Amino acid sequence: MEIEAPKKLFDKYKEKTLSHRYITNKHIEPLIQKLCGSVQVETIGKSVLGKPIYGLKMGTGKKRLLMWSQMHGNESTTTKALFDLLNTLLGDDPEVKAILGCFTLYMIPILNPDGAEAYTRVNANEVDLNRDAQDLTQPESKVLRTVFNTFKPHFCYNLHGQRTIFSAGKQRKSAIVSFLSPAQDKDCTVTANRKVSMEIIAVMNKALQKIIPDQVGVYDDAFNLNCVGDTFQSENVPTILFEAGHYPNDYAREKTRELIYISYLSSLDYIAKNEVTGQLFEPYFDIPENEKCFFDIIIRNALFGDVKKDVAIQFQERLIEAKIQFIPKVIEIGDLNGFFGHKELDAQGDEVKGATGELLKTDSENVFVMIKNEKTSLISE
């Protein structure tokens, strides 16, 4: 599939009722109701607080793919892209219809509805579901495990979102999309099973390089059997971790959403048309590993006493009146050579003060700063 095809399909089928970062059951339930009749819709369980967890099944093909998003409730970009994909697969484009003839897809659009509503990583019991794959202490974890056991997927897509701190390698290139073929043993052996995941990731990376060159990363593959991806991989089901990251000035993650959608569609097209053996895995190792080289804002050359220092500011994501607000917080003051800001300001050797006239200090929250007696907003739209 040439890269222009999924871009055009995204424009055509983007689910316009979903936007920005706060996506909950309330947002997706009207869409799920519309799917009834076209998609097999099931309530597959309930969260700690009794919210329904939905399973969506479609397609008639022999290749079974399980996808789940918002295991971490505040990682919603991949959920938006799932509904864009659903719209596409239910459309009338012949090439896409062929995909459904090859696949049976099972999607869990929000695995952690309590965390989604509270906009937290953890569930209502403050458990990280992605560390509960072995103990299965939480109802949401048990739901996913039951679907895995009964659906018996040939492939798994574990859908997440990552912070703005990540770079693709040690360079001034943010990791806009990241992947991982999880390890399946403590030695991180490149098994035949992992090679299948790696081959699919290499295909997605090839597509994305045409849009965001040098801005795709991979996570290190340190083994942790408590993680869902490592568990499913260890049971010989090729599993891929997707991470939706930061595109410049895209704190709503709408451009990243399109890139995740392109990743979905390009990988489905590839798997549908090929027997993925893992023989073409080697380009996976050309993708740079994620590094933590970014802050949201760096103010360079700020004067503290007689010393010039850099100020690192990171946005704190807060749910306020059903919207996500980005609150700038000073997290480090010092020599930040080797780090980058998604936005950089130069104090040119002057003091930088908060809106009330105090010098900036670690842990302070400042919507505005004063640089050279000019008021500057730090808020990202």
pLDDT at residue 95, rounded to an integer = 80
**Mean pLDDT in residue range 133-144:** 98
**Mean pLDDT in residue range 62-88:** 98
pLDDT at residue 98, rounded to an integer = 83
Residues contacting residue 148 through CB under 8 Å, at least 6 positions apart: 66, 156, 232, 237
Half-sphere exposure of 205 (CA within 13 A, CB side): 26
Query: pLDDT tens, 97-117?
Result: 889 899 999 999 999 999 999
pLDDT at residue 372, rounded to an integer = 87
Q: Is the pTM of this model over 0.85?
A: yes
Q: Can you list the domains of the chain with their CATH numbers?
A: 4-292 (3.40.630.10), 294-377 (2.30.40.10)
Q: How much is the mean pLDDT over the chain?
A: 96
Which residue type, as a one-letter code, is found at position 117? E
Cα-trace Rg, the chain: 22
- C-alpha–C-alpha distance, residues 219 and 179, integer Å: 7
**Mean pLDDT in residue range 28-56:** 96
pLDDT at residue 357, rounded to an integer = 87
**Mean pLDDT in residue range 177-191:** 97
Query: pLDDT tens, 327-336?
Result: 999 999 999 9
Q: Which helix (H) or strand (E) holds 113?
A: helix 113-118
Residue 171 has pLDDT above 60, yes or no: yes
* Residue 2 confidence class, pLDDT cut points 50, 70, 90: confident
Strand order across the beta sheet in which 307-320 lies: 323-334, 307-320, 294-304, 340-346
**Mean pLDDT in residue range 186-203:** 97
Residue 1 has pLDDT above 80, yes or no: no
Query: pLDDT tens, 289-310?
Result: 999 999 999 999 999 999 999 9
Using alpha carbons, list the distances in angstroms from residue 159 to 111, 248, 357, 373.
Answer: 10, 21, 44, 45
* Residue 380 confidence class, pLDDT cut points 50, 70, 90: low
Residue count (the chain): 381
Query: pLDDT tens, 320-372?
Result: 999 999 999 999 999 999 999 999 999 999 999 998 889 999 999 999 999 98
Query: pLDDT tens, 240-258?
Result: 999 999 999 999 999 999 9
pLDDT at residue 381, rounded to an integer = 52
